[in-house]
Amino acid sequence: MSQKTESTSHSTKGAYVTGGQEFTRDTNYIEDRITRDGAASGDGGPGWPVEPGRYRLVAARACPWANRTVIVRRLLGLEDVISLGQPGPTHDARSWTFDLDPGGADPVLGIERIQEAYFRRFPGYPRGITVPAIVDVPSGQVVTNDYAQITLDFSTEWAGYHRPGAPDLYPEHLREEIDAVNRRVFTEVNNGVYRCGFAGSQAAYDSAFDRLWTALDWLEERLTGQRYLVGDTITEADVRLFTTLVRFDAVYHGHFKCNRQKLSEMPMLWAYARDLFQTPGFGDTIDFVQIKQHYYLVHEDINPAGIVPRGPEPGEWLTAHNREALGGRPFGDGTAPGPVRAGEEVAAGHAAA
C-alpha cells in the first residue's frame, strides 16, 4: 500500500482551512492502483490485478469527483466488470452512508458506511473518508480513493474490458496536453470553487475569486474555436471540467459565492456544457436533487438553516447548443454508450426533463 501522509492537518471531509484562512484540499490519497500485471506497490504493499467482478466502485451521485468515475465507467462500458455502489447525497463526520439502499446497507459489501471499508484495511484510518473509492469485494477492504488516477486507469489498465466502440479518453499523442489542461482546471476551477466557498477571510476569498474567473475566462476563449478542450473528440479533460460546470449555477454561483456570472451567462462555456450534457454518458448520470441536497445540507457552516433551493430549472440543459458547427466527433472512431444500466438510472424527477 502506498499512502501519502501529511502531519500538519487532516479532515474527514478531505479539506481544511489553514491558519491564513485559505481553503486547502487534502490531496493525500491511498495511491494503490489496479493494474493489468497486478504489480505490488512501490513500498512493497499488495498488488491489485485487473479482475472482472472483483471490485466495487463506490461513488455518490452528488460528489463531482465521484461523478467523474461514473461517467468514465459508463463511456468505456465497464459496468459489467466493475459494479457500482451509490451512497446517498449527505454524510456526517464519520463518512458517506448507504441510506438509499434497502436496510441502509450496500447490497454487495453489506456495510452501512464506506468508512467500514477503510477501517477494514486501515483500522482507525486518520485521513479523509472520501468517495470515489474502489473496494475489493472479497475482503471488503478499500483499495484506493485516488480519484484522479482511478479514471486514467479505467482508460488504460482496464482497456481489455472496454465495450466495442469505447472512445479513447486518454490518447497517447494528446496526453501531455491533456495533463497540462487538467492541472490548470483542477487548481483553478475544480478546486477553485471550493477555495471561494470555504475562504476564511475576505482577502482569501478575493484572491480565490480572481483566480477562478481568470481560468473561466481562459476556458471561454479556448472553447470559442474548438468543440472540446483537447483535440476534436471527448477526452479525460472534458470529463473533469464537466462535473464542475454542471454544478455551477445550481450550487457554486450562490452557495460558494462564485457569482460574477452564471454559467448560463457565458456563451461558449454554457453551450459547451450543454453539448456534453446531451451526450450519452454525461447528463444521464446527473442527479440535480442529490447535488443540491449534498451541498446545502452538509455544509451547515455555510447554510445553517439547511434550506435547499428549488431552482434553477434543469430543463435548460436540454436546449440547443449548436456546437456541432465547430466539427469534432464526440466518440472519435467509436460509438455512444447504450442505455443506462438497469438500476443505475437517475431517479424520476431528479434529472433534466
Task: Please choose, from the candidates 280, 243, 281, 283, the residue with its C-alpha nearest in 3D space to the C-alpha of residue 263.
Answer: 243
Spatial distance between the Cα atoms of 58 and 144, rounded to a whole number of angstroms: 11
Q: Is position 158 annotated in a ligand binding site?
A: no
285 within 8 A of 57, measured Cβ to Cβ? no
**End-to-end Cα, the chain, rounded Å:** 44
Spatial distance between the Cα atoms of 229 and 272, rounded to a whole number of angstroms: 10
Spatial distance between the Cα atoms of 49 and 37, rounded to a whole number of angstroms: 6
Burial class (CB in 10 A: 0-12, 13-18, 19+), 241: buried
63 is annotated as an active-site residue: yes
Across 137-243, the runs of DSSP E, i.e. the strands, are 141-144
Helices 64-76 and 236-245 meet at what angle, rounded to 10? 140
Catalytic residue, chosen from 29, 55, 170, 194, is 194
Which of the 8 DSSP states describes residue 263?
Answer: G
194 is annotated as an active-site residue: yes
Give the length of the chain.
353
55 within 8 A of 226, measured Cβ to Cβ? no
> 471561454: which residue's cell?
220
Output the DSSP codes for 68-137: HHHHHHHHHT-TTTSEEE---S-EETTEEB-TTSGGGS-TTT--SBTHHHHHHHSTT--S---SSEEEET
Which of the 8 DSSP states describes residue 262?
Answer: -
How many other C-beta atoms lie within 10 A of the C-beta of residue 230? 22
Catalytic residue, chosen from 29, 55, 63, 205, is 63
Spatial distance between the Cα atoms of 250 and 247, rounded to a whole number of angstroms: 5
User: Per the annotation, where are the binding residues for glutathione?
Assistant: 96
Residues annotated as catalytic are 63, 194
User: Per the annotation, where are the binding residues?
Assistant: 96
